[in-house]
Amino acid sequence: MELYIGAWLAVGLAGLGVGIGEGIIAKKSLEIMGKNPDLSGTFLVLTILGIALTESAAIYGLIIALQIIGLDPATASSGAAIGAGIAVGAAGLGVGIGEGLLVAGAMESIRRNPAIKGKIMTFMVLFLALVESAAIYGLVIALSLLG
């Protein structure tokens, strides 16, 4: 039973953070496209890019959940399974929301000053990579606990 709790924590928390983050991105995108239809193409690309990059935290949670489910219940450490779920799930929760806010902020900046959208998008991707490192840390810790 504890193994399933670990799997739930991994995919549930990471999925929650990613779902919130992607909702933030989509909401901001639709608001801007509704007010500025001429920028729809730019914001569609930004939305797809932002959601695709944010989704990785949920994928990390899924990987760990599947690893936990595949453990032998007779020999597996329930503490390690729960710890791994918390490590990747909590990291995914924070990263998912943070990346959603980051992309939404970049969209707002582009709406205000479309002339520098290339520069804003470059910094957005750089900052996403830096935020994503926290999710990777959670993944590494979770894999170490399960290994």
Give me the domain span that covers residue 17: 2-146
Q: How much is the pTM?
A: 0.92
- Integer Cα distance of 108 and 33 in angstroms: 11
Indicate which CATH number applies to the domain containing 36: 1.20.120.610
Residue 56 has pLDDT above 90, yes or no: yes
What pLDDT is stored for residue 54 in this prediction? Answer: 94
Q: Give residue 117's identity as a one-letter amino acid code.
A: K
Domains in the chain, number: 1
Residues 75-114: tens digit of each pLDDT: 889 999 999 999 999 999 999 999 999 999 999 999 999 9
Average confidence (pLDDT) over 133-138: 97
SS (H, E, C) 70-112: CCCCCCCCHHHHHHHHHHHHHHHHHHHHHHHHHHHHHHHHHHH
